Amino acid sequence: MTIQYHSLSYQYLNQTTRVAAESDGNKSVVSLEDNSAAVLTDFTRVRPFTITPTATIGETNHKMIACGVRLLFVTQNDQNLLGLVTYNDVFGEKPLQYVQEHGGRHEDVLVQDIFTPLEKLEALDHGDVLKARVGDIVETYKSSSRQHILVVETDKDGLQRVRGMFSSSHIEKMLNTKLQSGARAHTFADLERALVE
C-alpha cells in the first residue's frame, strides 16, 4: 500500500504578526516533587555549545554572549571532550593569575590556560537522574555549591558521553523562585519556605 502525502497551503503574514513568546500564564513551572528530567538540559534534544582550546578568552566571551550561555564545552575536533570553561573562568582570577605567572597580555590568554580539564570534572549518572526528583537535584546543588552539574551515560560498549546538564539558573527559573539571596538556602526547609513565599 502506497502512502499518499499532501502539500500544505501557504498563507501570507498580516501586518499584526508577532513572534511567539512564552507568556507568564503559560510559563513552565515545576515543583520539587517533579521528576528531575523536567529541569535537565538533555543533549539528545539540545545541542551543547563548544569551543576549541586555542580560542582566546575574548572569543570565548563573545561566543557565550551569542549563544546565551555561561558554560562552553572545550572539545578537540568538535567531538572529544577536553573539559569545560565557564563565565567565572573567563572573568574570575584565572586569567589574571595566568598573566602574572607567565607574562603576556590579558587578551592573549587562551581557553587551554584557564579551563577545567576532563580529569577534574565530576558528573551524575543518567540512570540515577531519571529516578531523582527536582528536590534531589536542589539538595545536590546545595552540597556542592556549583552552577552546573554534568550528567553522563555509558553505552553498551563502555563509552561514556555527557548526556546533559543541570544549570542552577535554569532550575531557579523553572521553580519560579530564587534559590539564593546572597547565599544559597541552608536547609531544605529554607528552600521550601522560599517556594511558598
Residues 6+ apart with CB under 8 A from 138: 32, 171, 175, 179, 188, 191
188 has pLDDT over 70: no
Tell which residue, 39, 22, 27, 35, has the closest CA to residue 179: 39
- pTM here is 0.75
Strand ranges (E), 14-106: 41-42, 50-51, 71-76, 80-86
Q: How many domains does the chain have?
A: 1
- Are 157 and 140 within 8 A, CB to CB? no
List the domain range (segments joined by +) for residue 73: 29-196
pLDDT value at residue 27: 53
122 has pLDDT over 50: yes
Residue 23, in any domain of the structure: no
Model confidence band, residue 84 (pLDDT cutoffs 50, 70, 90): very high
Least confident of 43-57, 122-136, 140-154, 172-186: 172-186
Residue 21, in any domain of the structure: no
Instruction: Write the pLDDT tens digit of every residue in 7-62.
Output: 667 777 777 766 665 544 445 689 999 999 999 999 999 989 999 999 999 999 99
Q: How far is 137 from 168, CA to CA, in rounded Å?
A: 9
3-class DSSP state for residue 89? Answer: helix
Q: What is the CATH number for 61?
A: 3.10.580.10
Residue 24, in any domain of the structure: no
Residue 7, in any domain of the structure: no
